[in-house]
Amino acid sequence: MPVNAALNWDQIQREATDILSRYIRLDTSNPPGGESKAVEFLARLLAGDGIESRTYQSAPGRDNLVARLRSSDTQSPPLLLLHHMDVVAANPQLWSKPPFDGLIRDGHVWGRGAIDDKGLGAIHLMAMLLLKRAAVPLKRDLIFMAVADEEEGGSLGTRWMLDNQPAEVQCEYVWDEGGVGSVGITGNRPVFTISVQEKRSVVVRLKAYGRGGHGSVASGGPLDRLVRALHGIQGFAGDVRFNSVTRRFFEQLAETQTSLAGWIMRHPEAPVSGSILRRQLRKVHTLNAMLRDTVTVTVVQAGVNSNVAPDEAEAVLDVRLLPDTPLEDFLQRLNRAINDESIEVTATDSPPSPPPSSTDTAMFQAMRRAVLTQVPEALVASMQTPVATDSRFFRERGINAYGLIPVVLTPEELGSIHGVDERISVQGLVQGIKIALDVLLDMCT
């Protein structure tokens, strides 16, 4: 691409690194979020290049931003770049660098959100600024959208925007988070996964009531029963189940494997594949989570005094269902594993399961081409992400949404997402901007 090739990438690297570093310094841990300061920051950067943006407040301190590069051609509907400004909490005691200083060290930008999702935001923003500076006529509108509240369900962010400002975010394609580039998980060839479908998140609460009593004599009370119930669901996971997206994902991934592993990936449901596949899945948690219903105990609450057995006890389970698992069936299986009718089991509503976004679109192909231009040895595969993203709100409305942070991450960098020492390499950041700019040039000019 001529525009792309003529750019001063050293300067872009400095600018992008600086933007991401400053973005990380705005602590938007959710709760409480406080994304308004991030909106002000992004709006200023956009205005610096003459791009107007609008702010939509869903609650005090919770702002969302939409900026648009307009096309004079109204034939093609817009392409929307989406990222979330909020981040999950970080415990500074566990980190080797302060999580909200945005330090640039050892070729990396460090801090909470460096990858998820301020990293993607910086990539989208930089690509949009470069497109604006190139002053080329656009054949469709390009929308940059920064939302609040993704990490806590999106009801004040993407969902709120789609419900309250549908015209502002109407588009043909969405580029969101969900997949990444990685290396070292299934061999040394870089693999870029583009998410086209996701699992559904359900919160399940287990409650035990009854009589506690003096700690010296009471036993078999609510907390004891809850502990037994939790013991019953240890290791609870649904069977491995494939659907059209995961079958296709394995078929594509087979290319990176030697003959036996490749055969198994192409025939994952063959009887001989079963036990080998299950053994492998135990080692690769992300693949395992992609193919089963999963349950993780995330909160347990009971008791105040060391010498009083509590009258009630509660546990919260983070449940992730495959797109085609009926919630009722899952709850029946869970109840069987708990095997105690006195435990009250309640679940949040079953989220809808929209069809996957098509891979047979100009946008998916543009993303694929752009990745292969920048990383020719890569494999690009569509996949089902085990995490929930804002893409689901667009898919529910029939809009194709694609999830990709377009950067090759090492297993350590990948593990730092929602973990300790989150960081993105400066080189990766630039790679992401090059891929994003290629996609925008392809789709919008």
- Return the number of the residue (277 or 290) whose C-beta is nearest Zn ion: 290
Rounded CA separation 379/219 (Å): 57
Under the binding rule (CB under 5 A), the answer on residue 198 touching Zn ion is no
In 242-377, at which residue ranges do the beta strands (DSSP E only) sit?
Answer: 294-302, 308-309, 312-321, 344-347
- Return the number of the residue (26 or 264) whose C-beta is nearest Zn ion: 26
The stretch among 19-27, 116-124, 248-256, 269-277 that binds Zn ion (CB under 5 A) is 116-124
DSSP code for 24: H
Rounded CA separation 42/36 (Å): 10
Which positions from 159 through 178 interact with Zn ion, judged by CB under 5 A? 177
Under the binding rule (CB under 5 A), the answer on residue 116 touching Zn ion is yes
Rounded CA separation 140/11 (Å): 28
The stretch among 113-121, 135-143, 328-336, 402-410 that binds Zn ion (CB under 5 A) is 113-121
Under the binding rule (CB under 5 A), the answer on residue 314 touching Zn ion is no
- Return the number of the residue (177 or 421) whose C-beta is nearest Zn ion: 177
Minimum CB separation from Zn ion for residue 150, in Å?
6
Minimum CB separation from Zn ion for residue 177, in Å?
5
Rounded CA separation 430/350 (Å): 40
Minimum CB separation from Zn ion for residue 376, in Å?
28
3-class secondary structure, 267: coil
In 171-284, at which residue ranges do the beta strands (DSSP E only) sit?
Answer: 173-182, 191-198, 200-209, 213-214
Burial of 36 (0-12, 13-18, 19+ CB in 10 A): buried
3-class secondary structure, 216: coil
Minimum CB separation from Zn ion for residue 62, in Å?
17
- Return the number of the residue (116 or 421) whose C-beta is nearest Zn ion: 116
The stretch among 57-65, 88-96, 109-117, 182-190 that binds Zn ion (CB under 5 A) is 109-117
- Return the number of the residue (112 or 140) whose C-beta is nearest Zn ion: 112
Q: Hunting for tokens 């089991």 — which residue is that?
A: 345
Query: On the CB side of 307, how many CA atoms lie within 13 Å of its CA?
Result: 1
Which amino acid, 300?
V
Among candidates 212, 248, 200, 241, which has minimal Cα distance to 393? 200
Which positions from 177 through 196 interact with Zn ion, judged by CB under 5 A? 177
Minimum CB separation from Zn ion for residue 42, in Å?
16
Minimum CB separation from Zn ion for residue 86, in Å?
9
Minimum CB separation from Zn ion for residue 113, in Å?
9
Please state the φ and ψ torsions of residue 197, each to the nearest 5 degrees: -160, 160
Total residues at interface with Zn ion (CB under 5 A): 3
List the beta bridge partners of residue 437: none
The stretch among 108-116, 136-144, 339-347, 351-359 that binds Zn ion (CB under 5 A) is 108-116
Please state the φ and ψ torsions of residue 109, each to the nearest 5 degrees: -100, 125
Minimum CB separation from Zn ion for residue 160, in Å?
17
- Return the number of the residue (63 or 177) whose C-beta is nearest Zn ion: 177
Over its C-alpha atoms, the chain yields an Rg (Å, rounded) of 23
Under the binding rule (CB under 5 A), the answer on residue 117 touching Zn ion is yes
Under the binding rule (CB under 5 A), the answer on residue 141 touching Zn ion is no
Q: Are 128 and 69 in contact (CB under 8 A)?
A: yes
- Return the number of the residue (63 or 390) whose C-beta is nearest Zn ion: 390
Rounded CA separation 265/257 (Å): 9
Which amino acid, 360?
D
Minimum CB separation from Zn ion for residue 198, in Å?
12
- Return the number of the residue (113 or 356) whose C-beta is nearest Zn ion: 113
- Return the number of the residue (12 or 436) whose C-beta is nearest Zn ion: 436
Instruction: List residues near Zn ion by CB under 5 A.
Output: 116-117, 177
